[in-house]
Amino acid sequence: MDAARVAGGRGRPVAAGEAARARSQASLGASFAVRAAFIWPALLAILFVSIYPLLASLYISLSHLKLVRGGFEFRFVGLDNFRELLVGGEQGNFLGVLGPLGPVGWAVMAAGVALLGWGLVRAWRGGASVAGMVFRVLGAVLAAGTLWLAARTLLAAGGRPGTAMVTLVYVLVGITAQFLLGLGLAYLLTQGLPGQRLFRVVFLLPMMITPVGVAYMFRMLTDTGKGPLQPLWAAVGLSDFSWVNSPWGARVAVMVGDIWQWTPFMFIILLAALEAQDTDTVEAGMVDGANRWQIFRHISLPAILPVCATVVLIRLIEAFKIIDLPNILTNGGPGTATESLSLHAYFRWRTLDLGQSAAVAYSLLFIVTVAALAYVNLVRRRIAEE
């Protein structure tokens, strides 16, 4: 079956490339005034609320707060707070406890480095500019560093992941699960099953509860004394297992809560996208004898791919900020097992260690910006043809 024949030849732009935009600008008579009027209100609103906090918290991350007579003062300490995080007393909390690399760790590192190297070579051969290569190399170095950290904390004996690694785990597992679930559910609800509308409303419910409320709800559910699931675990033979005393048990509980809460986000957007598909191409596919999987794979999926990319990016940025679930379920415990970066910053902030808190927040900013840039450049650009 010729997918290209099915999907193409309709004369409408799948994504607005530069050419289409130029056409639209010319045709819409979009003078400078019009273009400004459309975009500037949004830009100004964002600037108004974001400039001062950004600069202020940057300065705070380079200083130390002290309460003095008449108020407070910020004493400039340079990169002290960051040094504390990376190599100082906070390293155990932030990066984790590094164990020695075992054979599995070495294997993973080797595979990862090989993959990154191959990617770099391919980009160079493909004619990337010098500036582009510099960025790519930097990205590869950072990725290799993260892999090394993961190998030494997650895969090594005696290693314990710090808040940065734990957050990464939350994000990767959470987004994968939420995306697959959201897409699957959205797809099923476009199949014309009876009772569809009811399911749509029901599936939206978890996202509508305030995150603090969801966290308390899950705390109630997972309580081994008062929670409803206890008889279930006992029946299955797990009555002695206390998820809260096991680091990974607690982390799984946080991830389950996170997935439960945020799958509707992916679901509602992907559903809207699936339903907005051009029905003609789908009909043409059916006429041509394609089965459901082929239609999905070759027609629907490419059509919603830009939306998928967007929704994953938005959720990626939000997921890194996870705080309510680990805070309320276990207050970051047992020990520091479930503490995320945002929670780490919150604990410092709550006791007036504003400098350290801002330093953690800026580290989060750095990590997420790199991740988002990498994601946008590698994935989204390819999909949406920016």
Separation between Cα atoms, residue 152 and residue 167, nearest integer Å: 16
Indicate the residue among 110 and 242 with the shorter CB distance to other proteins: 242
Contact between 42 and other proteins per CB under 8 A: yes
- HSE on the CB side for 194, CA within 13 Å? 0
Q: How far apart are the first and last CA of the chain?
A: 29
Q: Which two tokens stand for residue 268?
A: 């509602």
Contact between 368 and other proteins per CB under 8 A: yes
Residue 68's DSSP bridge partners are 71
- What is the widest separation between alpha-carbon atoms in the chain? 81
Contact between 230 and other proteins per CB under 8 A: yes
Contact between 82 and other proteins per CB under 8 A: no
Indicate the residue among 193 and 235 with the shorter CB distance to other proteins: 193
Separation between Cα atoms, residue 291 and residue 282, nearest integer Å: 11
CB-CB contact of 77 with 71 (8 Å): no
Contact between 129 and other proteins per CB under 8 A: no
Contact between 350 and other proteins per CB under 8 A: yes
Among 106, 121, 242, 378, binds other proteins (CB under 8 A): 242
Indicate the residue among 52 and 124 with the shorter CB distance to other proteins: 52
Contact between 5 and other proteins per CB under 8 A: no
CB-CB contact of 185 with 264 (8 Å): no
Contact between 132 and other proteins per CB under 8 A: no
Indicate the residue among 4 and 19 with the shorter CB distance to other proteins: 19
Residue 107 Cβ, how far from other proteins at the closest point, in Å? 27
Residue 104 Cβ, how far from other proteins at the closest point, in Å? 22
* Three-state DSSP class for residue 73: strand
Interface positions, 316-335, toward other proteins (CB under 8 A): 317-318, 320-321, 323-324, 328-335
Among 16, 114, 121, 141, binds other proteins (CB under 8 A): 16
Contact between 79 and other proteins per CB under 8 A: no
Render 237-273 in DSSP notation, one character per residue.
Answer: T-TT--GGGSHHHHHHHHHHHHHHHHHHHHHHHHHHH
Binding residues for other proteins, total number by CB under 8 A: 167
The stretch among 99-107, 141-149, 168-176, 372-380 that binds other proteins (CB under 8 A) is: 372-380
Which of these, 285, 284, 304, 287, lies nearest to 295 by C-alpha position? 285
CA-CA-CA-CA torsion for 324, 326, 328, 331, nearest 10 degrees? Answer: -130
The single-letter code of the amino acid at 70 is G
Contact between 20 and other proteins per CB under 8 A: yes
Separation between Cα atoms, residue 33 and residue 24, nearest integer Å: 16
Interface positions, 152-181, toward other proteins (CB under 8 A): 160, 181
Residue 280 Cβ, how far from other proteins at the closest point, in Å? 7
Interface positions, 271-310, toward other proteins (CB under 8 A): 271-280, 282-283, 286, 292, 303, 306-307, 310
The stretch among 99-107, 118-126, 144-152, 343-351 that binds other proteins (CB under 8 A) is: 343-351
R_g of the chain computed on alpha carbons: 25
